[in-house]
Structure 1
Amino acid sequence: MPEWSNWSGLVRSTPERLVRPSSEEEVVAAVRDAATGGLTVRIAGSGHSFTRLVATDDAIVALDGLTGVVDVDPEAGESGEAELWAGTPIHAVGPLLHPHGVALRNQGDIDRQALAGACGTGTHGTGPSLTSFSGAVVGATLVLASGDVVSCDADHEPDLFRASRLSLGASGVVTRLRLAVRPSYRLHEREWAEPVDDALARLDDLIAATRHFEFFWFPGGDQAWCKALDETDAEPDELPDVDGERIDDSWAIYPSDRDDRFNEMEYAVPAEKGPACFQALRELYRTRHPDTRWPIEYRTQAADDVWMSPAHGRPTVTLSIHEPVDRDHEPLFRDAEEIFRAFDGRPHWGKLSYLDPSELPALVPGWDEWWAARDAADPDGVFLNDHLRRLAGR
């Protein structure tokens, strides 16, 4: 039997079939064969989700053979659109788009995810004026359970489009994504440490001062490790040799090296509650988990209108917590989740949570609409695994 594992090794599957198509036609054939055989079909990107979204004993369609640019229109919309194959890893997108004079509007500090996985789980970077990858989706092409290939956007199959912006891989196999992009740009990065209480005291100013700001706090210390990125017209060689600063193309500045493997929980809370939620987590670490050493990450995100999005309808602060793979993450994560919920938090779809599914319809904006559109596209539930059925209470 083939084996599949997510990046951290927490989720493992031995599906009956593990298919790696290299064309849309091969995706069609794989889906039709699986559906005819009565098999559930799940879709894998790079495995950077920590939940059981992909896990199945039936069929997994891995998208790592569907990569590259389909088309770029730098004149479309306000600042351009680019269509890419859904398996394209984020770290490849910048170099692919750069010759066309455009770039992604934002990225996170991990760039190993596939585009389909990043958009399909609401993955994001930081910046109070910037939405997630899902918020940048302006069109999608899917292979449905019937094998039909359907393209959708706000004007064509609008309900399917709205469900496909943050899809969880549940309506069909997303093969192509059309994203809003912008003219290429460079970023000036500054990194520094300061006492976390000082950073919190001037947090609003730090966030407002640049296009992107975030900080990490490592338990057991009192320092906030801060990172600010701002647009610049300067050339990389114009920056003096200063520790903690660099200038480069946006796609070269965003990512950080993440070689140590970990498991993660992330919640999105209303922006005005972010500082208090962080302080509550900090006290939790001090009193109940004093031996924890992996950081809390603090980022911002603009409100969006995406069904199922943790940032739907409200400016947002996201707080991420981590534990290394060789350590039991559940005690800390369960305690932290109580705090996240007390601050009106919404969970990230690709990261761990322990919510009872009965809580989700009231917590998640667009829940009923998303499921109705999903069910209309896949009435037989071909793209539902046990994890998704449990979330839906089925």
Structure 2
Amino acid sequence: MKLTRRHMLFAAAGTGLAAGAVAVQKIGWDNKSFTRKGYVEGAPEAPPGEASWMNWAGTERATPQQIAFPDSVDALANTIRNARGRVRPVGSGHSFTGLATTEDTLVMVNALSGLLSYDAATGEARFGAGTPLFQVSEELAAQGRAFDNQPDIDSQTLAGAFATATHGTGNDLPALHDNITAFQMVTADGSVRDVTRASDPDLFEAGKVSLGALGVMTAFTLRSVPAYRLKRTVTVEDSKDFLSRLEQTAGAHRNFEFYYFPHTGLVASIVHDLTDEPPTDETGGDDDEFLQGLKTLRDELGWAPWLRRTIARSEFPRGIVEERVNESRVLLSTVRPTRFIEMEYHLPRERGPEMVERVMRKLDQRGEIFFPMEYRHIAPDTAWLSPFNAGPRASIAIHAAADEGYDYFFSDFEPMYREAGGRPHWGKLHSLGRAELTQLYPDYERFLALRRDLDPGGKFLNAHLAKLFGENFDG
């Protein structure tokens, strides 16, 4: 889909006459800085003898005493057993919250990766917990297999994706962790545990979405399906027309999502359906270039909402803007070169259409917003801390550039999500603690009790988890 920064600059240049009538507003907007106060680019400088780390978005930074890279389960067990202070595991650092942050020992399990075994009779595959999702997809494809679904970003490790309940989209498709049939973990005392539903049903349901709080995962056994091909169709249209048949569209396709472009009144729906058609040669649009076009539109015309909307609607393509056929692993996940910050809540499915309209209206009220909003559907599962264990959910995600302010996430949007019974994505920004989470999750206190049994000394705690669990934390 083409909407480039160059297009927007030419479009904005044609507004000079109109700008004269509201010169004061334009000058004020031109002098506005969108960079948030206190923003620092890059990881922190570590004191002598310490290490430096930050997450992908730059929202979390740390200078741990050490970053450990164990290359075997035994080495990991020794690291945990002998560690001084706290220990936190980290994968690709794609969570926006403080799940991984520590000033003591940060453990990276990236060396525990790759396909460990494959059972052709069942289609189950065992992978190291540090394997990134894109590698899992490639190794499954070599066996003629695939995930039944994928998230829109595939750089996360298996351990990180499962720990935070990472998901794709589709009315009948659950989150990724529902594919787990067994896992191995190292607990706080250095013990290695192999867990299945039959061997330990409570730990199995708690461990599928564990926030990295029960132990450090080393391997997962996963269900797979025969490799399949999808047809991707992207359609841009007026938001009112689209919302009038949102549920009908979602039910008619295997995978369904849509993006709303603030201050335009337009949406782009993305659907995928099973197909036997041959792969196409066409490549998709440049999402990063498109995003920069939206940013330029904000920067140049944010002072005049009516003009911003008019130019956007004149420049956007309409109708079907992309049709592609390829293997599922190619189409379901995309590359996100532009760093951003995100809040995502999972709402009861029946509240989705109503709430997404409210969110869209609120987005249009804030001139500084240019990032699209994302809406998806997820089927239920049974993991204790799965946001989807109470029934089908509709997911609404809002974003901001990594260097820009996002306080309005909490003041303008989170209260709406909470009023609708929403549960936050564990890896994305939210303000909830134990009191609120206990009300949202029937098994929350069971999870906390199990965590205390496995880690009575709080070796895997950090400040973020202490807030979630209602625990004292002295650093």
Alignment TM class, shorter chain as reference: over 0.9
Query: Is 1:271 equivalent to 2:349 in the alignment?
Result: yes
Check conservation: 2:236, 2:321, Cα contact below 8 A: no
Q: Which has the larger radius of gyration?
A: 2
Q: What fraction of aligned residue pairs are identical, expressed as a percent?
A: 38
* Alignment correspondent of 2:61: 12
Tell me if structure 1 keeps the 8 A contact 2:371–2:399.
yes
Residue number among 38, 57, 62 corresponding to 2:103 in the alignment: 57
* 2:234 is aligned with 1:156: no
Note the C-alpha offset of 1:25: 1.8
Look up the match of 1:195: 238
Match of 2:73 among 8, 24, 34: 24
**Residues 126, 220 of structure 2: 8 Å contact kept:** yes
Is this contact kept in 2: 1:74–1:101, CA < 8 A? no
How big is the shift at 1:219? 0.6
The one-character-per-residue Cα deviations of 1:192-247 (angstroms, maximum 9, x if unpaired) are 20111111111112111110010000111111111101111222159999951111
TM-score norm. by structure 1 comes to 0.95
- What is the number of residues matched between the two proteins? 387
Distance in 1 separating the partners of 2:77 and 2:283: 53
Structure 1 CA distance for aligned equivalents of residues 166 and 103 of structure 2: 26
Distance 1:366 1:17 in 2: 34
| TM-score, normalised relative to structure 2 | 0.79
Structure 1: any 5+ residue segments left out of the alignment? none
Kindly provide the CA deviation profile for residues 107-137 of structure 1, in whole angstroms up to 9, marking residues without a partner as x: 0111111111000000100001111112221
Q: Secondary structure in 2 aligned to 1:236?
A: coil
**Residues in 1 aligned to 2:451 and 2:226: alpha-carbon distance in whole angstroms:** 34
Runs (5+) with no aligned partner, structure 2? 1-49, 285-319
- State the one-letter code of the partner of 2:441: V
* Equivalent of 2:116 in 53, 59, 70: 70
Query: Cα offset for 1:157?
Result: 2.1
Partner of 1:262: 340
Match of 2:145 among 89, 102, 107: 102
SS of equivalent residue, structure 2 residue 236: strand
Amino acid at match of 2:93: G
Displacement over 4 Å in runs of 4+? 237-243
Structure with greater strand percent: 1
**For 1:290 and 1:178, how far apart are their aligned partners in 2?**
47
Partner of 1:3: 52
1:350-376 per-residue CA deviation (whole Å, 9 max, x = no partner) reads 000012432110112320121122222
| CA contact 1:160–1:374 (8 Å) conserved in 2 | no
Q: Is the 8 A contact 2:280 2:324 kept in 1?
A: no
Shift of 1:330: 1.5
Task: Verify: 1:213 aligned to 2:256, yes or no.
Answer: yes
Q: By how many angstroms is 1:69 displaced?
A: 0.6
Q: Does 1:351 align with 2:428?
A: yes
Map Cα deviations across residues 281-324 of structure 1 (whole Å, 9 max, x no partner): 1121223x232111110000001111111111211100001000
**C-alpha distance in structure 1 between counterparts of 2:442 and 2:274, whole Å:** 33
Instruction: Tell me, yes or no, if the aligned pair for 2:280 and 2:326 is still in contact at 8 Å.
Output: no
In angstroms, what is the RMSD of aligned CA positions? 1.7
